[in-house]
């Protein structure tokens, strides 16, 4: 099949019924002993730096500060009832931390820290307590040995980072079918709107949920949120220390038969407000997270194709070179856009390139047609094939032109 036909063949099924046609209320339904497998990816960009550390089995402490941390996890989760709640015990089939240092040479040991954390977590597990409506009540990291007081702090940082990777499991659902038709709001504690910190999150926010048309028994659920958050206690927020304007955009595919999410992508954008006392830079953090249920894991933590859609930044982060031109559209308005090339182009084969993702800026007109596609990252040898793929893709019609940053994945042919 030609390249363009392959791309369009995987552009997603046509929309069928509307959420207005729901006859029963969608509910979370984890079955006792049910085992599910998930691929999770999170990138956390922290321009102001994020301190990380690792304590090896002999008690040797190594620390460094990151500018960007990427977490890739293949996890197998077993559901067990606990009263009206459900406990998900999630082990790691694959876990890897990578990223970029905040400053060199001061943070030159960051790869050692990432490698140590990745190795330490291989024998650990995550335990989540989920309420019947889909909230994450507790999130624990177990199976990591505490060697000394410092290693205890390291484990807590690991827990916080993994919590950002697993936060997409939380999706509170209402109990009235009319709420699914008109949307619903929540203002209570959410795992999605938590800052990446061990000191706690204080503040207030509102989250708005809406549903889209049902397709293949999957109910799309969009989430948008906005609030003013702060690290630490309420007194810290009252004194104006690092008040953060936090915005969330997310989309999920909820399987009406299975009774749980099978795919979700979300972005969280945190910036210091003008009222903050701490104003070295207005950008506090940017988080991009994706999760997808899979039948089996791909080698070496490789991503399923449909995760490509989750990597569309919501505002003008993370990379400065991707933020010129048109303002980025909110990810939640785009829907799922799987952009990929299932075979490595000839130019890539000649260079012996492996599977890779190329980041590009796409400009879209009011009718969803691509008017320009420019590769910003990746191998130059793949730029032509990447542009062809992007120009043939279908995007959401918004009525006004917009731009979005996407990843096109090129996959090396599987060994025969």
Confidence band of 88 (pLDDT split at 50, 70, 90): very high
DSSP states along 34-89: -EEEEEEEEEEEEEEEEEEEEE-TT--EEEEEEEEEEEEEEEEEEEEEETTEEEEE
Counting every residue, how long is the chain?
416
Q: Poorest-confidence range of 80-94, 250-264, 269-283?
A: 269-283
Does 152 or 294 have the greater pLDDT score? 294
pLDDT value for 410? 66
What's the whole-number mean pLDDT along residues 118-139? 94
Domains by residue range for the chain, with CATH? 3-17+26-303 (2.30.230.10), 304-416 (3.30.2420.10)
Phi then psi for residue 230, to 5 deg, are -150, 150
Under 8 Å CB-to-CB from 183, ≥6 apart: which residues?
A: 208, 209, 210, 211
The Cβ-side half-sphere exposure at 345, using a 13 Å CA radius, reads: 23
Q: Is the dihedral of CA 315, 185, 242, 43 positive or negative?
A: negative
Q: Determine which of 228-232, 233-237, 360-364, 384-388 has the lowest per-residue pLDDT on average.
A: 233-237
Quickly tell me which residue has 């000191």 as its tokens.
Answer: 199
For the chain, what is the mean pLDDT?
77
pLDDT in tens, 304-338: 766 644 444 333 333 334 334 455 555 445 543 44
Q: What is the pLDDT of residues 7-36, one digit of tens each?
A: 223 333 333 345 657 888 999 999 999 999
Q: What is the 3-state secondary structure (H, E, C) of 151-165?
A: HHHHHHHHHHHHHHH
Return the SS3 of 120: helix
- H helix or E strand, kind and range, residue 222: strand 218-231
pLDDT of residue 48: 81
Q: What is the pLDDT of residue 90?
A: 97
Highest-confidence segment of 145-159, 233-247, 310-324: 145-159
Report residue 366 CA to chain centroid gap.
27
- Is this prediction's pTM over 0.85? no
pLDDT digits (tens, 9 = 90+) for 37-46: 999 999 888 8
Instruction: Name the pairing type of β-strands 260-272 and 243-255.
Output: antiparallel
CA nearest 40: which of 342, 359, 304, 412? 304
* Structure-token pair, residue 348: 């890539």
Residue 394 is predicted with a pLDDT of 67
Distance CA 94, CA 75 (A): 7
Q: CA angle 81-82-83, nearest 5°?
A: 105
């Amino acid at each position: 099949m030609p390249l363009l036909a392959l791309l369009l063949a995987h552009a997603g099924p046509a929309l069928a019924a509307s959420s207005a046609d729901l006859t029963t209320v969608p509910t979370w339904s984890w079955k006792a002993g049910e085992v599910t497998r998930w691929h999770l990816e999170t990138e956390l960009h922290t321009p102001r730096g994020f301190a990380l550390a690792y304590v090896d089995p002999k008690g040797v402490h190594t620390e460094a500060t990151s500018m960007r941390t990427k977490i890739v996890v293949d996890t197998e989760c077993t559901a067990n009832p606990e009263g009206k709640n459900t406990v998900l015990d999630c082990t790691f089939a694959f876990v890897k931390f990578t990223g970029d240092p905040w400053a060199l040479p001061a943070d030159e040991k960051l790869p050692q820290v990432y490698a140590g954390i990745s190795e330490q977590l291989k024998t650990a597990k995550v335990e989540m307590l989920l309420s019947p409506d889909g909230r994450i009540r507790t999130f624990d990291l177990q199976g990591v040995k505490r060697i000394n007081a410092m290693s205890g702090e390291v484990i807590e940082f690991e827990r916080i980072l993994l919590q950002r990777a697993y936060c997409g499991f939380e999706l509170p659902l209402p109990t009235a079918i009319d709420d699914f038709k008109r949307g619903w709001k929540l203002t209570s504690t959410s795992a999605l709107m938590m800052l990446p910190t061990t000191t706690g999150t204080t503040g207030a926010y509102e989250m708005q949920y809406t549903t889209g048309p049902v397709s293949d028994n999957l109910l799309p659920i969009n989430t948008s949120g906005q609030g003013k958050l702060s690290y630490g206690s309420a007194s810290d927020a009252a004194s104006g220390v690092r008040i953060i304007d936090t915005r969330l955009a997310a989309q999920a595919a909820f399987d009406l038969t299975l009774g749980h999410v099978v795919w979700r992508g979300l972005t969280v954008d945190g910036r210091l407000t003008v009222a903050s006392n701490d104003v070295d830079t207005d950008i506090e953090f940017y988080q991009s997270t994706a999760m997808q249920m899979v039948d089996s894991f791909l080698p070496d933590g490789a991503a399923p194709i449909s995760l490509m859609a989750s990597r569309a930044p919501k505002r003008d982060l993370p990379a400065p070179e991707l933020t010129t031109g048109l303002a980025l559209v909110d990810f939640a308005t785009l829907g799922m856009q799987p952009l990929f090339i299932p075979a490595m182009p000839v130019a890539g084969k000649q260079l012996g390139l492996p599977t890779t993702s190329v980041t590009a800026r796409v400009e879209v007109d009011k009718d969803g047609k691509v008017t320009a596609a420019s590769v910003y990252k990746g191998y130059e040898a793949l730029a032509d094939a990447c542009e062809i793929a992007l120009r043939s893709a279908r995007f959401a019609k918004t009525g006004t032109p917009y731009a979005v940053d996407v990843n096109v994945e090129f996959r090396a042919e599987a060994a025969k």
